[in-house]
Structure 1
Amino acid sequence: MANPLFRLCLISMAVLLHFNFSLSVKEDDTVLLPLKAQIISSGSVPNKLSFHHNVSLTVTLTVGTPPQSVTMVLDTGSELSWLHCKKTPGTPNSFDPTHSSSYSPIPCYSPTCRIRTRDFTVPVSCDARKLCHAVLSYADGSSAEGNLAGDTFRYGESTSSVLPGMIFGCMDSGWSSNPDEDSRTTGLIGMNRGSLSFVSQMGFSKFSYCISGSDSSGVLVFGEAKLPWLRPLNYTPLVKISLPLPYFDRVAYTVELEGIKVSGKILSLPKSIFVPDHTGAGQTMVDSGTQFSFLLGPVYAALKKEFSEQVRGILRPLGEVDFVFQGAMDVCYRVEMSRNVLPELPAVTLIFRGAEMVVAAERLMYRVPGMVRGNDWVYCMTFGNSDLIGMEAYVIGHHHQQNMWMEFDIANSRVGLAEVRCDLASQRLGL
């Protein structure tokens, strides 16, 4: 599976993005899932599922007939959902299609395997069995390969939670840049606006999630979340570009980033620096499949300079010029192990059109695992330099979405957000 720290994917596959299927879920229903999966009816939010998060956000569903449990990374930056398919007996964290009577591989002559789109541009490909061949490649060097197929997914015990004929990739080979994380999951659940995404196939035009910052829990809601205790959301519109551009992902959740401020001081940057250029490079994507957030080089440099100046005398710089965490983050400091909490730090605010996202406290600094200097921990700021890892985009990762109610309103082309205690939200929803 792709490293979720900076998983911007380049996908090549022969596949149709228009198909017919019937689901028992209605648009006016609400599905509430725990980002670990169980469905618990709760007032006006019947469709809910809890989830778990560490490096990735993961949700547990079942697939096939009889059902097999799978754990999938929740990824708003991807379209096609896919599973590791069992290649040899005893393979952990995999789906075995030979034990599912509802599994249906898609032949390469099927219309589902023919239409070319921006995401799937490779001509139709057949394997030796005349099945639709799929290859997914990610920017961090990881990959997955297999076949396109359909099967029944379930996210709960009720009949309305049964989703027959869901299209996904059944991957039987690949390699990963993060094998430890990969070994704990069965695959990936794609949640962008493309026709093959999980939410599109379900027939919902809206979904939400809330990620706790105090523990590893969360909640995922399909449909309308009518919650009296939820603060009114601030909405920012999705960017629409009608012309096909080589570096612009038209089915991503692309929002308008207008500026950044550090403790109330707005970085002195031209607004044009946040606007995609003539190639589409420079879009700002809300991506649950990426852990941290990334800024293009000039913006990252400006943030680094201002933040460093404001924490002078509060934090002690690491002082190692060549140290770069995860290949993209070099604003790092030494913090005494004896400290129970970080000192009070200036917040970094992302200014979107119509909404703001405040990044403070534990969301702003991250302790590098296993890194010790004398009696100090090593902490790095949780923004990375996109230029250092070859990304031509701004990416808002799930770490900065903690304790925010995040609503993806596909019907109205907007993303809503509001600060909330997500651990309490999960409790109120019975998860």
Structure 2
Amino acid sequence: MNRSKARLSYLKSIIKLPNNDAKETTNLESTIIVSASSYLMEIYVGTPPTKQMVTVDTGSDLSWIQCLPCEHCFKHNQPIFNPNRSSSYKVLRCDSSECLKLGDKHACTRSNEKCKYLLSYGDNSGSYGELAWETYTMGNISIRNMIHGCGHQNFGYFNEDSSGMIGLGDGPLSFFGQTRHLIDGMFSYCLVSQVGPNPHARSRINFGINAEVSGPTVIHTELIKKKGMPFYFLSLKSISVRNRIIQFTRKYGEILIDSGTTLNYFPRDVMQNLKEALILEIGKHPLMINNEFCYKMNTDIPDITFHFAMEANLTLSKRNTFSVYGNALCLNMKAEDHISIFGNKSQMDFLVGYDIPSRIISFKPTDCSKHVISK
């Protein structure tokens, strides 16, 4: 059997292919909507398929949704998933190889009991429940035997429009990790602006053949992977406000790109230098509102440019760098001395492409409200 036929035979064993067309397996796509400061992706879970809106999280290596019976669930606007009504739901055992891949998220002790997971996030939210096989459907493609979490105890702040998380980190149990052989290790998304004339705008996320980001306005930069970590890092050399440059040390220049985090986080000294540069370029001292760095709404805010490796200079307008806070514009960057993060506000209105095998992340300026699924 040649390589292409062997690949098709394998794919048929786990995927329901429309019209037996192997090309379809590398063209997964779905809708993304913005809700408050989160981005939610539409998927269908179970048999029969049940619609779920899950938070798009490149910083997470396990997908999960809220499930009945709910011992402690956050409020959300969709019916809670009932695994007893899905013929494709199958809980894993604690001693299964898949359960053991949870590592420190493994939360069961007896080998013959159901596999339990425990997730916690940086904001002290988290999820506890069963690890199970399930079917995910996107468009006309159903992917069987996806490993995901069925959360019975979910705590912390979660968006009411969301029913859980879609893990896009590079881990063996993430959605990306389980489908990377189908999508050639590539995905891209476009995050619509959280402000503007169309608060209900939709955009899309692509996996595989249509995820490539190209064109004359694209910039490419190095993707850094760290051993044993599912996260994606970029090498940030400096940031600038017009001609004023703020340098990063190597320790803090490796910045986590995270669609599940709203703001940017930088070391305290970088933030101080950035604020001083903004004050000098704006020509006015800021309004201090609840310890936020703010200006009046009509203030002329200069662009801030991020200088990444490979001479990739990403220029962000005030829409990416300041947020409306009452009757003012406030800087959406905070001091954090332990990790640097490039959050989703700075990614708005860019088509962001991840090519994991090539270790490249690409940015293309795009009106994401027009980057929609074709019907």
Give me the TM-score of the superposition, normalised by structure 1.
Answer: 0.73
The Cα shift of 1:128 comes to 11
Name the structure 2 match of 1:100: 86
- For residues 145-174 of structure 1, give each alpha carbon's deviation from its aligned partner in whole angstroms, at most 9, with x where no partner exists: 111111001011x2xx10100001111012
Report the CA distance shift for 1:211/1:114 in structure 2 as closer, same or farther (over 3 A): closer
Does the 8 Å CA contact 2:40/2:53 hold for their aligned counterparts? yes
Percent identity of equivalent pairs: 24
The one-letter amino acid of 1:104's match is: K
Tell me, in whole angstroms, the C-alpha distance in 1 between the residues paired with 2:364 and 2:106. 43
Tell me, in whole angstroms, the C-alpha distance in 2 between the residues paired with 1:412 and 1:150. 30
Give me the TM-score of the superposition, normalised by structure 2.
Answer: 0.83
The Cα shift of 1:364 comes to 2.1
Report the CA distance shift for 1:241/1:74 in structure 2 as closer, same or farther (over 3 A): closer
The Cα shift of 1:264 comes to 3.4
Report the CA distance shift for 1:218/1:252 in structure 2 as closer, same or farther (over 3 A): same
1:292 aligns with 2:254: no
The Cα shift of 1:348 comes to 0.6
Does the 8 Å CA contact 2:105/2:117 hold for their aligned counterparts? no
Cα RMSD for the two superposed structures: 2.8
1:53 aligns with 2:34: yes
Name the structure 2 match of 1:407: 353
Equivalent position SS for 2:278: helix
Report the CA distance shift for 1:124/1:172 in structure 2 as closer, same or farther (over 3 A): closer
* 1:357 maps to which of 305, 314, 334: 314
1:318 aligns with 2:287: yes
* 1:198 maps to which of 172, 175, 179: 175
* 1:397 maps to which of 326, 334, 343: 343
Name the structure 2 match of 1:381: 331
- For residues 95-128 of structure 1, give each alpha carbon's deviation from its aligned partner in whole angstroms, at most 9, with x where no partner exists: 1101101101011121222246xxx326662479
Tell me, in whole angstroms, the C-alpha distance in 2 between the residues paired with 1:230 and 1:82. 35
1:218 aligns with 2:162: no
Tell me, in whole angstroms, the C-alpha distance in 2 between the residues paired with 1:299 and 1:407. 27
Does the 8 Å CA contact 2:45/2:51 hold for their aligned counterparts? yes
The Cα shift of 1:200 comes to 2.2
The one-letter amino acid of 1:254's match is: F
Name the structure 1 match of 2:53: 71
Name the structure 2 match of 1:275: 251
Name the structure 1 match of 2:14: 22
Report the CA distance shift for 1:228/1:76 in structure 2 as closer, same or farther (over 3 A): closer
Report the CA distance shift for 1:241/1:138 in structure 2 as closer, same or farther (over 3 A): closer
Equivalent position SS for 1:301: helix
Report the CA distance shift for 1:27/1:296 in structure 2 as closer, same or farther (over 3 A): farther
Report the CA distance shift for 1:209/1:413 in structure 2 as closer, same or farther (over 3 A): same
The Cα shift of 1:424 comes to 2.7
Equivalent position SS for 1:399: helix
* 2:293 maps to which of 331, 341, 345: 331
Name the structure 2 match of 1:42: none
Tell me, in whole angstroms, the C-alpha distance in 2 between the residues paired with 1:207 and 1:317. 39
The one-letter amino acid of 1:260's match is: I
Report the CA distance shift for 1:148/1:334 in structure 2 as closer, same or farther (over 3 A): same
The Cα shift of 1:241 comes to 4.4
The Cα shift of 1:224 comes to 2.8
Name the structure 2 match of 1:184: 161
Equivalent position SS for 2:104: coil
Structure having the higher helix fraction is 2
Does the 8 Å CA contact 2:40/2:55 hold for their aligned counterparts? yes
1:253 aligns with 2:209: no
The one-letter amino acid of 2:309's match is: R
The Cα shift of 1:410 comes to 1.0
Tell me, in whole angstroms, the C-alpha distance in 2 between the residues paired with 1:168 and 1:189. 9
Tell me, in whole angstroms, the C-alpha distance in 2 between the residues paired with 1:212 and 1:295. 24
Structure 1 residue runs of 4+, over 6 Å off?
226-229
- Give the gaps of 5 or more residues in structure 1: 1-20, 32-45, 245-249, 277-281, 325-329, 336-341, 372-376
Report the CA distance shift for 1:399/1:228 in structure 2 as closer, same or farther (over 3 A): closer
Tell me, in whole angstroms, the C-alpha distance in 1 between the residues paired with 2:315 and 2:110. 49
Does the 8 Å CA contact 1:28/1:223 hold for their aligned counterparts? no
Name the structure 1 match of 2:3: none
Does the 8 Å CA contact 1:257/1:351 hold for their aligned counterparts? yes
The one-letter amino acid of 2:293's match is: V
The one-letter amino acid of 2:313's match is: E
- For residues 341-390 of structure 1, give each alpha carbon's deviation from its aligned partner in whole angstroms, at most 9, with x where no partner exists: x443211111101212211132221112xx3xxxxx13211111124xxx
The one-letter amino acid of 1:379's match is: L
Tell me, in whole angstroms, the C-alpha distance in 1 between the residues paired with 2:33 and 2:362. 22
More deviation, 90-99/345-354: 90-99
Tell me, in whole angstroms, the C-alpha distance in 2 between the residues paired with 1:228 and 1:255. 17
Equivalenced residues, count:
346
Report the CA distance shift for 1:346/1:274 in structure 2 as closer, same or farther (over 3 A): farther
Does the 8 Å CA contact 1:27/1:223 hold for their aligned counterparts? no
Report the CA distance shift for 1:402/1:27 in structure 2 as closer, same or farther (over 3 A): farther
- For residues 287-318 of structure 1, give each alpha carbon's deviation from its aligned partner in whole angstroms, at most 9, with x where no partner exists: 100112111211111111111221124xx622
Name the structure 1 match of 2:272: 301
Does the 8 Å CA contact 1:134/1:146 hold for their aligned counterparts? yes
Name the structure 2 match of 1:35: none
1:239 aligns with 2:224: yes
Equivalent position SS for 2:273: helix
* 1:166 maps to which of 125, 146, 151: 146
Name the structure 2 match of 1:39: none
More deviation, 231-240/67-76: 231-240
Report the CA distance shift for 1:317/1:284 in structure 2 as closer, same or farther (over 3 A): same
Report the CA distance shift for 1:419/1:333 in structure 2 as closer, same or farther (over 3 A): same
* 1:153 maps to which of 113, 130, 136: 136
Tell me, in whole angstroms, the C-alpha distance in 1 between the residues paired with 2:97 and 2:283. 61
Report the CA distance shift for 1:412/1:334 in structure 2 as closer, same or farther (over 3 A): same
